[in-house]
Structure 1
Amino acid sequence: MQIMLHSSVFWYRTSKEISDLEGELLSVRNLLSTQSALIHGLSEGVQIDSLSTGLEGSAEQDISTVEDQEPSEIWKWYTDFPDMLDVLLAERRVDEALDALDEAEQIAADAKQKGTLSMADILALKRAISENRQKLADQLAEAACQSSTCGVELRAAASALKRLGDGPRAHSLLLSAHNQRLQLNMQTIQPSSTSYGGAYTASLAQQVFRVIAQALSDSAEVFGDEPAYMSELVTWATKQAMSFSLLVKRHALASCAAGGGLRAAAECVKIALGYSELLVARGLSLSAVLMKQFRPSVDQALDSNLRRIEESTAALAAADDWVLTYPPTGIRPFARSSAGSLALQPKLSSSAHRFNSMVQDFFEDVGPLVSLQLGGSAMDGLLKIFDSYVNLLISALPGSVDDEVNLEGLGNKIVRMAETEEEQLALLANASLLAEELLPRAAMKLYSMNPVRGPDRQNRVAEQREWKRKLHRTVDKLRDSFCRQHALDLIFTDDGDSHLSADMYINMDNTVEDPEWVPSLIFQELYGKLNKMASIAADIFVGRERFATLLMMRLTETVMLWLSEDQSFWEEIEEGPRALGPLGLQQFYLDMQFVILFGQGRFLSRHVHQVILNIIDRAMAAFSATGMDPDRVLPSDDWFIDVAQETISRISGKPRVANGEREVNSPTASVSAQSVSSARSHSSS
């Protein structure tokens, strides 16, 4: 039936075309006859009627010839083309249909050039080609949108659409098909309040990034690396990553962050970024897109953990008795270190032990964040809560005032005062051990789990060094507050009067009794305090003797700087109505010699030694301004050294030390008694 229909259509079209052709030929014949008769009549003078008769006979012969000819090949193809294309489209023979359309385009171009078809036929042919191209494109688009279309068929459809000249539509359909499949697959992944957030994140990430990877592969295979298509692909992939991150944030990270589940939050982020890294080899990095969404939740979890450490430590500090003990976990005083040697376990007070324990757990939880470049905020947060803990320790010092302590983060916690010097030194032991050993050691362990090389390694080392410096500066606040409080206790009475005033030296020359030549009480008390604290510190700062030494030096420095910078003291000495007399100068010189002698090698830094020499210079200059020569009124240096050594021996309970002896291992071992006793010559020079 189809063959008969095809044949009928063919002969009908052929008959119609022949009739039209006959009419056109008749018109041409008449025109040619008329023109020929005119031309011959003008040139040869013959009669038009005879020429007309000849042309008419010739034209009739031509018409007879055309009627007898079979239809040409182009006419056969032209009439068969629409039906053939219908069959190819119906049978989804896409490649053959594309070839047929390309052939039709070429035939139309050739027919126009050679004139084998009329202009009307050429336009009709082009219209048929365009309509069938659109029909094929619609079929391909419909097939691409079907969920049952496999990957090979999808790429073939996209490639065919591109060949049809509709590349942008083909690429959009390709991405739309992948998106449709992704949405179908994601419907099977449902978050559960009882399930582990990492499992949900992993399942979701597997689907999302697998589809993105497949889309990358399909796009590259069909469209190559054309910029327009790559731009659309990156935009689409970014949108998918954004949707994925929002789902993870809503169903996994939100609950972790709210509950302070830092480890769970870090694990979810690590899983997500791990899957996204699989795309980097294909030239697409989406980690920045993910982290932009994840960072707020991670920061919230970090803040929640740090706040919990801060609050727990503050609560324990309120009940801390400031007694140093070994860790309360049953660990023996000595434990084997990672290197196999025996290491002394730290002795801390109860709040410091708890602080250290929570920080160690925090570092374990924050471990995955270091490789994700989120470790910086964790380390900064830890600095903040350590600073808060040190502020608690400062507030435990007797006499500390509110303006010396940053109470932010302490809430309403009131810590127990550290009344004794043992307890006060325990505060410093807590802070120094945490800052110098425990926290840096934990940080090193953390970073060793995520090694880096090259410039990144150098940057990390610099960051760690700066972090340790900040820890030390925080401890310095406590040390300075400790020294300031003890210096104030030495210098001032409970009523606010000063033990270190100009009157105590000026008034000596107004007494009738011979003075008892011993160092002034304030400097004897300073040495007694230093001697006692050094003994206590020797038991507390085992293995960290340098810290204890620097602490004692800092206390001496605080007192001597106070004297050096006390304007009222020097105004009375230098400009007061009563001048400094010989006895007053002798007492002042003895006090300074006493500090130099008991401080050398233990309690005196080079800087403070120079400060004392400058103080002596200033006093002797004030005395010289009265017109008297200090060298004529002062005894020999040996006399001052003997008196100072006698006092040192009496207070310390140790035999006198010969001139020039000092502790060989002292950080100021080069400062000798002889060099100190040359202050007078130093002044005169």
Structure 2
Amino acid sequence: MVKTIPNPVGEKRKRFAQEQESARKDVERGFGVLQSRWGIIRYPVNTWSTQKLWEVMTARVIMHNMIVEDERLERLYDQGFQFQAPTPKNDDSQDAAISEKASLPRPKSATALPSEACGCSSAAADAHGRGDLGEGALPAPNPPPPYRRRLLDLGWASAKSSRSRPAGHSGVFPVGAAATGVGGGGGGGGGGGGDGGVQLADKLKIFKTDNFDPDAYVQSKCQTMNEKEIRHLCSYLQDLKKASAEEMRRSVYANYAAFIRTSKEISDLEGELLSIRNLLNTQAALIHGLSEGVQIDSLTSGTEGSTEEDISNVEGQEPSEIQKWSADFPDMLDVLLAERRVDEALDALDEAERVAADRTQTLTTAEISALRSAVSDNRQKLADQLAEAACQSSTRGIELRAAASALKRLGDGPRAHSLLLSAHNQRLQCNLQTIHPSSTSYGGAYTAALAQQVFSVVAQALSDSVEVFGDESCYASELVTWATQQVLSFALLVKRHVLSSCAAAGGLRAAAECVQISIGHCSLLEARGLSVSAVLLKQFKPSLEQALDANLRRIEESTAALAAADNWTLTYPPNGIRPLARSSVANLALQPKLSSSAHRFNSMVQDYFEDVTPLLSLQLGGSTMDGIAKNFSLYVNLLISALPGSMDDEANIDGLGNKIIRMAETEEQQLALLANASLLAEELLPRAAMKLSSINQSSMDDLRKRGPDKQNRVPELREWKRKLQRMVDRLRDSFCRQHALELIFTDEGDTHLSAEMYISMDNTVEEPEWVPSPIFQELYAKLNRMAGVAADMFVGRERFATLLMMRLTETVILWLSEDQAFWEEIEQGPKPLGPLGLQQFYLDMQFVIIFGQGRFLSRHVHQVILDIIDRAMGAFSATGMNPDSVLPGDDWFMDVAQEVVGMISGRGRAANGDREINSPTASVSAHSMSSFRSHGSS
């Protein structure tokens, strides 16, 4: 394999150069044989592989060394062997590989040429070994006849189904009835199963009676059922109907090959029966002729002169017209066949058969036999001539249909139909030779060119078959099988050269375009009554699911990378991202304000849904929406981990691991996290998902077919939106929990809200300054500050901001309500709650009610505060004192609370006359406080 010595000097070098050049020529010729025989080497994408080149050249070097070794031992190969490269073929078939192996000299040693080195499979090597040992001459066992094989298959299937039929729910009665009626329990053994079968048979007898009324039966069963049970029964029946349809479809697909095989066997059997009928007619005519020939006419007495006169009369008699036509028929038919006048030849054959059947009295037996023999021979000759013409590549269109029609007229319809399909297949293979995939070409262009060739040939074959053979079931079944094979080959080519690379690279848009082109050509065949889209969908679905997963991973990785550098500042969409509306001053307010990572996530999801929309026929809508929901959940986890006080177990959930996320330090940045999640979940993602249900229907048939899917998708979208909202609630709860813990606990771990701060107030001599506790003042200040920031961020979504503030207040109040250590010290501690402590606690709760009413306080939290006050007053009453005797009036608490509210909010102290006494919330709060004051004193 080294470079040849150009001008060798000396006998040794000349001899070496000569031997090396001969070895190189053998290797090059061997490589030429491989490249002409196997298509895997012809394509550049395989030839560029260094590994494949090394394997091919290594195999040829090994073969050359074996040839040299054999020549050393026995020189007979030099005389009898002459290398000839076999003629290349269009298809990459196994016969080509076998012929190439047969053209090479076989080594005598079985171990000298391993199957791995010569490129043969293990099965081929085993077959080769058996041939050397003489095992290849053994005949294979004869298969059973077709009808016996069908009977065995049917018998085995019926026995198998009877053994494997479950004794469960039958589909007629509810599940509970079926369970109790059949089977008899798990531990009942065989007896229980038999009793259950008898009970089920008894129950089914009612449906077999002649006077069975379905309406009356349903009304009798539904009278005792409520609306929920009837709705559940309807849903169950719908599911049962869908399951039955799916089971029927699977059964048809599973047994379709057996049905086709049985149809072919029946067609062959009909042909054999027709041949037997023709043979019986021939034998009957022969017997009839023999019976007439052996009859001896009665001899009449007469003179010798009269006998001679009769003989002279017979010799002088002229032949009739039919006898002349019968004698000239073979020559006339030969002329018609030579001139390829097929229609006239068929008419002549039909006329000859009619004459042979009708003129038995006019023609002699020998003439009838000769005529029938000529008809039979010329029929076979014409059939062979038509078959040869149909196999020619130049025979197309009208000529091909005429040949097939003539063959059918000759009584050889199955052969004519097979030749018709074979001619179209030959034309398709010839056209496919001009289409070569290339790494630089566009995948959609290759798919379109390939689909144009394949589906146009299939459509032409469908038209020719219907025109010549009509709608006969045996021919239609063969046509469907042939068309399915062609479409399957097309799908494998597209999958190999386009979809595989697109799926690996995540090219969802290119893959979707290829699938859409293929489905569009399938719809043209469906308009003619041939549905083959299921074959394409089955082959394309795995590659498309791989492309979908690759796109989802890209969305996840891109979002995580942008979240690491996001400054959590809300802005309008940048120039590189497609806006939701035209960028004008009027529509500027309609554009969403999100952070950079949320803008990128939204843009990628929009593109993803647009690419997936053409693939809804593959039933990928559910997996698509689930994938986006999973990505949104991962993005919400990123937002949770961006909170400074987020817990470690929340930051690492769902595979986030050690991803670096930029922290949201300020309250404005933390509210931006909530704005991102809420806007995506409530508006942007559902709006993008609606593209899956708003598809332009091309025909009313498609509209009727996809109508139920669209109706079923609306509840699915609602459920999907609720799932997104629960993810946002998880982020909101983390946000509120973080700020509640900042209010309640200090950096050192101490608490700002404890029972000691209320109990210790009665140990001081001086009168305390009556203001709400600092923790509740800080709570109101935080709520007031966040409400101002949220008003600018959540424009048009004020309800979400209000719910967020209420949730923060609820988190603090519920913590106080559920703190067992706080209430154990208040109710069972060594020091009881005194009058001053009760007054301070009452003031704090009244302060929360005053600043929270209408803005930060829900009805549930308001009731929780009243329960807390009731519990504190109950603990004070346990000491033997009346709470009303130590607490001032309600106006005092309201004045102090409103004064602090005004100071914190910057509105100043509100006078009693400025309060909204008639406000519904204020009246309810005052009434509630008064009622609890009276309850505590009772």
Q: For this structure pair, what is the TM-score category when the shorter chain's length is used for normalisation?
A: 0.7 to 0.9
Equivalents in 2 of 1:313, 1:595: separation in Å?
40
Counterpart residue number, 2:927: 678
Equivalents in 2 of 1:507, 1:162: separation in Å?
112
Counterpart residue number, 1:182: 428
Counterpart residue number, 2:348: 100
AA at the equivalent of 2:394: S
Counterpart residue number, 1:558: 811
Evaluate the alpha carbon distance shift between residue 98 and residue 631 of structure 1 in structure 2; reply closer, same or farther with a 3 A threshold: farther
Counterpart residue number, 2:889: 636
Counterpart residue number, 1:88: 336
Greater shift, 172-181 or 454-463, is seen at: 454-463
- Report if the CA contact (8 A) 2:391-2:419 is conserved: yes
The answer to which structure, 1 or 2, has the higher relative contact order (CA under 8 A, 6+ apart) is 1
Larger radius of gyration: 1
Question: Structure 1, residues 106-144: CA drift from partner, whole Å, max 9, x if none?
Answer: 3333356x59544x7656654543333232222222211
Equivalents in 1 of 2:445, 2:526: separation in Å?
23
Question: Structure 1, residues 589-630: CA drift from partner, whole Å, max 9, x if none?
Answer: 322222111111211122322332333344445555666554
Of the three residues 538, 560, 566, the one matched with 2:791 is 538
Structure 1 position 537, deviation (Å): 2.1
Of the three residues 127, 142, 150, the one matched with 2:388 is 142
Greater shift, 150-159 or 165-174, is seen at: 165-174
Greater shift, 319-328 or 444-453, is seen at: 444-453
Counterpart residue number, 2:731: 478
Which structure 2 residues correspond to residues 48-447 of structure 1 after superposition, within 5 A?
53=301, 66-111=314-359, 117-118=364-365, 125-329=371-575, 341-343=587-589, 345-363=591-609, 365-366=611-612, 368-369=614-615, 374=620, 376-405=622-651, 407-408=653-654, 410=656, 412-443=658-689
Evaluate the alpha carbon distance shift between residue 593 and residue 115 of structure 1 in structure 2; reply closer, same or farther with a 3 A threshold: farther
Equivalents in 2 of 1:659, 1:247: separation in Å?
86
Equivalents in 1 of 2:362, 2:915: separation in Å?
120
Equivalents in 2 of 1:258, 1:573: separation in Å?
66
Structure 1 position 672, deviation (Å): 0.8
AA at the equivalent of 1:273: I
Equivalents in 2 of 1:344, 1:637: separation in Å?
48
Corresponding residue SS for 1:288: helix
Structure 1 position 276, deviation (Å): 2.3
Structure 1 position 98, deviation (Å): 1.8
Counterpart residue number, 2:802: 549
Corresponding residue SS for 1:192: coil
AA at the equivalent of 1:204: L
Question: Structure 1, residues 470-503: CA drift from partner, whole Å, max 9, x if none?
Answer: 3333222211111111122223333444433444
- Report if the CA contact (8 A) 1:601-1:662 is conserved: no
Structure 1 position 397, deviation (Å): 0.8
Question: Structure 1, residues 317-370: CA drift from partner, whole Å, max 9, x if none?
Answer: 222232334444399x99965895442644433333333444444455455446
AA at the equivalent of 1:129: V
Corresponding residue SS for 1:28: coil
Counterpart residue number, 1:28: 296
AA at the equivalent of 2:353: E
Equivalents in 1 of 2:729, 2:852: separation in Å?
21
Greater shift, 627-636 or 101-110, is seen at: 627-636
Greater shift, 674-683 or 57-66, is seen at: 57-66
Greater shift, 577-586 or 274-283, is seen at: 577-586
Greater shift, 266-275 or 513-522, is seen at: 513-522
Counterpart residue number, 1:613: 866
AA at the equivalent of 2:861: V
Question: Structure 1, residues 57-111: CA drift from partner, whole Å, max 9, x if none?
Answer: 9988766654443334454444433333333222222222222222233333335
Corresponding residue SS for 2:296: helix
AA at the equivalent of 1:299: E
Evaluate the alpha carbon distance shift between residue 355 and residue 165 of structure 1 in structure 2; reply closer, same or farther with a 3 A threshold: same
Evaluate the alpha carbon distance shift between residue 598 and residue 94 of structure 1 in structure 2; reply closer, same or farther with a 3 A threshold: same
CA RMSD in angstroms, aligned pairs only: 3.8
Evaluate the alpha carbon distance shift between residue 353 and residue 641 of structure 1 in structure 2; reply closer, same or farther with a 3 A threshold: same
- Report if the CA contact (8 A) 1:579-1:626 is conserved: yes
- Report if the CA contact (8 A) 2:621-2:692 is conserved: no
Evaluate the alpha carbon distance shift between residue 634 and residue 193 of structure 1 in structure 2; reply closer, same or farther with a 3 A threshold: same
> Which ranges of structure 1 fall in alignment gaps of 5 or more residues?
1-19, 34-51, 664-668
Query: TM-score, normalized by length of structure 2?
Result: 0.61
Q: State yes or no: 1:487 paired with 2:740.
A: yes
Structure 1 position 421, deviation (Å): 1.6
- Report if the CA contact (8 A) 1:660-1:673 is conserved: no
Structure 1 position 443, deviation (Å): 4.8
AA at the equivalent of 1:110: D
Corresponding residue SS for 1:672: helix
Greater shift, 59-68 or 545-554, is seen at: 59-68
Evaluate the alpha carbon distance shift between residue 570 and residue 60 of structure 1 in structure 2; reply closer, same or farther with a 3 A threshold: farther
Question: Structure 1, residues 272-294: CA drift from partner, whole Å, max 9, x if none?
Answer: 22222222221223333223222
Evaluate the alpha carbon distance shift between residue 464 and residue 76 of structure 1 in structure 2; reply closer, same or farther with a 3 A threshold: same
- Report if the CA contact (8 A) 2:637-2:651 is conserved: yes
Structure 1 position 24, deviation (Å): 6.1
- Report if the CA contact (8 A) 1:592-1:612 is conserved: yes
Equivalents in 2 of 1:165, 1:622: separation in Å?
108
Aligned pair count reads: 636
- Report if the CA contact (8 A) 1:335-1:343 is conserved: no
Evaluate the alpha carbon distance shift between residue 97 and residue 371 of structure 1 in structure 2; reply closer, same or farther with a 3 A threshold: same
AA at the equivalent of 2:393: S
Greater shift, 338-347 or 73-82, is seen at: 338-347
Structure 1 position 427, deviation (Å): 1.6
Equivalents in 2 of 1:126, 1:501: separation in Å?
120
- Report if the CA contact (8 A) 1:158-1:222 is conserved: yes
AA at the equivalent of 2:739: H
> Which ranges of structure 2 fall in alignment gaps of 5 or more residues?
1-288
Greater shift, 369-378 or 603-612, is seen at: 369-378
Equivalents in 1 of 2:866, 2:641: separation in Å?
35
- Report if the CA contact (8 A) 2:652-2:658 is conserved: no
AA at the equivalent of 2:485: K
Equivalents in 2 of 1:578, 1:126: separation in Å?
129
Evaluate the alpha carbon distance shift between residue 600 and residue 91 of structure 1 in structure 2; reply closer, same or farther with a 3 A threshold: same
Greater shift, 653-662 or 554-563, is seen at: 653-662
Evaluate the alpha carbon distance shift between residue 449 and residue 282 of structure 1 in structure 2; reply closer, same or farther with a 3 A threshold: closer
Corresponding residue SS for 2:900: helix
Corresponding residue SS for 1:301: helix
AA at the equivalent of 2:805: M
AA at the equivalent of 1:80: D
Greater shift, 481-490 or 53-62, is seen at: 53-62
- Report if the CA contact (8 A) 2:548-2:624 is conserved: yes
